[in-house]
Amino acid sequence: MTQPQGKIETPPDRRPQDWVGIHPVHRVRSQRFPRHVAIIMDGNGRWAAAQGLHRFEGHRRGAEGVTRITRTASRIGLEYLTLYSFSIENWKRPPAEVNALMGLYAEYLVREREEMMANNVRLVQYGRREGLPPRVLEELDRSMRLSAGNTGLTLGLALNYGSRTEILDAIRRIARQAAQGRLDPEQITEQTVSDSLYTAGTPDPDLLIRTAGERRISNFLLWQISYCELHVTEVMWPQFSRRDLMLALRDYAGRDRRFGQVPGAAPPGRGGPSVR
């Protein structure tokens, strides 16, 4: 029987077996493998300009990059991959570019749905639903509903997302509970805040990758990356390859994550970033 297009064989326990990698030089010991990788996908427009192409072509190539890196993440047994897809600040871009991007999101969700199902990928969205076009919401909801039972990679799209907005929404949610007498303000903990964020139920990222050489966080997962390792690459997102991902994982594997504690101590936080 033929396999669905893009079908990837993943380890049965969803974790890498001993070594993982595309090429021996990029292999990473599974004991040093991150559970959750987040990526700020930057450089689509600059890549297009450097090629003498329209900005939209850069975004289209960037969407191909999402497919490529999601396949790789699923193949190597990564549990969570979160991509900064469209920020609340991106609404300030020219309307023609925003409309083109929204059309690209809808097309991506339709085009990749079969492959996500074939590879046991679960899709989730982090961000506000208000303001997203009806077609994008329709396709997003359909993909999330169909993939809800999948147990492989969780692909999180930070779509219409801003971390300060997320924290404000969490504060309002907690404040309403307190005002209704359902929550004692003195009992509010870090876990209370984490459980009120868009990402509730998702472990904090272990590794944050930013492409295109920028060295800023850009209002992305500010609460969640408190103990995250950062990796910046000069490679622009449309060119970000499987090799580049494995190099970032190898960089992560070589770091000593102590979280301000002595070696071997349990990491802080909500189940915390894991020491590997």
Catalytic residues: 42, 90
Eight-state DSSP code of residue 23: S
3-state secondary structure of 239: helix
Q: What is the distance between the alpha carbons of residues 37 and 209, in angstroms, rounded to a whole number? A: 8
Question: Are 134 and 100 a contacting pair, CB within 8 Å?
Answer: no
In this structure, the number of other CB atoms found within 10 A of the CB of residue 130 comes to 7
Burial class, 140, CB count within 10 angstroms (exposed 0-12 / middle 13-18 / buried 19+): buried
Q: What is the distance between the alpha carbons of residues 229 and 69, in angstroms, rounded to a whole number? A: 19
Q: What is the distance between the alpha carbons of residues 85 and 112, in angstroms, rounded to a whole number? A: 15
What does residue 275 show for φ and ψ, rounded to 5 degrees? -85, 125
Question: Helix 134-147 crosses helix 95-118 at what angle (to 10 degrees)?
Answer: 20
- Output the six-digit token pair for 43: 């450089």
Q: What is the distance between the alpha carbons of residues 65 and 21, in angstroms, rounded to a whole number? A: 18
Q: What is the distance between the alpha carbons of residues 62 and 235, in angstroms, rounded to a whole number? A: 12
Residue type, 16: P
List of residues 6+ apart from 77 with CB closer than 8 A: 10, 11, 13, 14, 15, 16, 17, 20, 33
